[in-house]
Structure 1
Amino acid sequence: MRLEGKVAVITGAGQQQGENIGNGRAAAVLFAREGAKLLLANRSMASLEETRDLLRKEGFDAECMIADISKEDDCAALVNTATSKFGRIDILHNNVGIGALDGDTVNIERSVWDNVFNVNLDGAMLISKHTLPIMRSQKSGSITHVSSVAAIASSPLIAYKTSKAALHEFVRWLAFENARHNIRCNVLMLGMIDTPMAIEGYHKVTGTPRDTLRKQRDAQVPMGRMGTAWETAKVALFLASDDASYLTGAVIPVDGGMHTRVG
């Protein structure tokens, strides 16, 4: 098994209700199947327990903890819990991200902008800040932050795209800074994925029927279809495993070719 004996912290491991599995939950399941010990974090315990129930049906288990990575105390507590339970942290998979349909710079509300940056960028920095001392002491580790192709494409999600673009540069710095400690830091840049967050979120905001949304999103992808969370989780598993032992500072697109339309 590719993660046998490794300890993984996965943030954003819950999800909202919907027809399909989300990226964080799918990563938790694949990591468990590959032998990882898991500490799962989310802002909702109910959704975390649903993830744990899914794991238990397959004969696995996980520690669960409520945490908001935009709060430094929560990040410190999450790392402390992982080390007290398992003694180490080998993998940090940060699947947290929020967005808003802010559409036009003239109409952006400062509170919305700040909230998106607090979660998507400040949160990534804070959870990295508190995880790195553990990984440095081990002289090993893998950190993956989940981003979006919106970071490099024109999109009416101004705060979201800008925070994710900044995340790319932050992770490139993390990779350079921590390479001498044998810590790999990469970005998983996702495109149109058929997850509850995407479909239910847009359905709620726009009122567009779910089937119509899926057709619209499929049409934007060069491969002609949205991806699934299982497909994103397989790449996350690769980045977390020793198969990616010489890969750091990379922005990996998992988007059906959407990034080929940019630049």
Structure 2
Amino acid sequence: MSIDFHQKDRNALDLSGKVVVVVGGGQQPGPGMGNGRAICILAARHGAQVVAVDRNLDAANETVDMITAEGGSAYAIEADVSKEADCQRIFDETMKTSGRVDGMVYSVAVNPPFDFESNSMSVENFNYGINVNMLGCYHCNLFAAQCMEKNGDDTNGSIVNISSIASVKNELGLNIGIMPYALGKCGLNRITELTAVQYAGVGVRVNTLMLGPIDSVLGNHDSQSLFGLDAGEVKEAYADVVKLKMGRGSVWESAYAAVYLLADESRFMTGQQIRLDGGATLVR
């Protein structure tokens, strides 16, 4: 299929007619916004029908309400991605309602509770963290790709897995609180590459968007609980990590990067890790 990239009046990053599933499209309570919600809103602004998926249905519906208030199209699905059956149901329901899947963003992360003083975590909590951060990604990648290969175009769909520089940086030391997250994101990076290889022949693209210090609800909340910092100390810690003068990035910058990966403009890119980190990983 020929893409009119050469046209002067081309509508860039146009997602019109595409169905985009955002797993993690709600967010936890707190001031500000999360990456998943921002991606939902921006994808809808670029013309996609958005499926906001979250364990918290009320949070997903809040995202849907924000989209429809702007005239966009969206609906919510409740799912716990630590369960394979729930991951399958996400795409079964989307296919039943919308008839196709063109894009999927896996924007889910969890830092399970742990004892800060003893640096210990229950096996159940550790396993839950791995199930959400990594196995849920595997299942959603698989089921999304299976839907996308039915679309019948040369570029059948795009999967974007949201990772973190915690998967490649180790200044944090042996803090058990971060382990399920960091290990899960390491696995997510590899899942991206494996899925990209497996489904390249049917036109499905898969890329990792690796985020650094983003000013998000989850990032601000969990940084305090993981390392015993107050809000001001979190801001200072992030300032030490980012190399660029601008400081921390915003969830909207994450969202624009994700929309680029979902759109036809990135149709020749697959299996890649794109670091949106303000230069934090320039020196490891």
Normalising by the smaller structure, the TM-score range is over 0.9
Aligned length: 262
Q: Distance in 2 between matches of 1:104 and 1:7?
A: 46
2:155 paired with 1:134:
no
Q: Distance in 2 between matches of 1:104 and 1:246?
A: 48
Contact 1:116–1:163 at 8 Å: present in 2 too? yes
- Kindly state the Cα deviation for residue 255 of structure 1 after the two structures are TM-superposed: 0.6
Q: Of the candidates 95, 99, 109, which is equivalent to residue 122 of structure 2?
A: 109
Q: Which amino acid aligns with 1:242?
A: D
Contact 2:126–2:180 at 8 Å: present in 1 too? yes
In the other structure, the counterpart of 2:206 is 185
Matches within 5 A, 1:1-263: 1=11, 2-100=14-112, 107-139=120-152, 140-154=156-170, 155=172, 156=175, 157-204=178-225, 208-224=229-245, 225-262=247-284
- Kindly state the Cα deviation for residue 86 of structure 1 after the two structures are TM-superposed: 1.0
Farther-moved stretch of structure 1 (98-107 vs 135-144): 98-107
Q: Distance in 2 between matches of 1:116 and 1:204?
A: 16
Do the aligned partners of residues 174 and 205 (structure 1) sit closer, same or farther apart at CA in structure 2, a change above 3 Å counting? closer
- Kindly state the Cα deviation for residue 64 of structure 1 after the two structures are TM-superposed: 0.4
Farther-moved stretch of structure 1 (51-60 vs 206-215): 206-215
- Kindly state the Cα deviation for residue 16 of structure 1 after the two structures are TM-superposed: 1.6
Contact 2:133–2:180 at 8 Å: present in 1 too? no
* Structure in which a larger fraction of residues adopt helix: 1
- Kindly state the Cα deviation for residue 202 of structure 1 after the two structures are TM-superposed: 3.0
- Kindly state the Cα deviation for residue 104 of structure 1 after the two structures are TM-superposed: 11
Farther-moved stretch of structure 1 (177-186 vs 207-216): 207-216
Contact 1:13–1:40 at 8 Å: present in 2 too? yes
Unaligned runs of 5+ in 1: none
Do the aligned partners of residues 106 and 21 (structure 1) sit closer, same or farther apart at CA in structure 2, a change above 3 Å counting? closer
Do the aligned partners of residues 91 and 51 (structure 1) sit closer, same or farther apart at CA in structure 2, a change above 3 Å counting? same
Q: Which amino acid aligns with 1:11?
A: V
For normalisation by structure 2, the TM-score amounts to 0.86
Q: Distance in 2 between matches of 1:150 and 1:65?
A: 29
Q: Distance in 2 between matches of 1:57 and 1:204?
A: 34
- Kindly state the Cα deviation for residue 105 of structure 1 after the two structures are TM-superposed: 11
Cα RMSD after superposing both structures: 2.0
Deviations, residues 91-127 of structure 1 (Å, cap 9, x unaligned): 0111011124868998453223211111111101111
Q: Which amino acid aligns with 1:54?
A: M
Q: Secondary structure at the match of 1:137?
A: coil
Unaligned runs of 5+ in 2: 1-10
Contact 1:91–1:142 at 8 Å: present in 2 too? yes
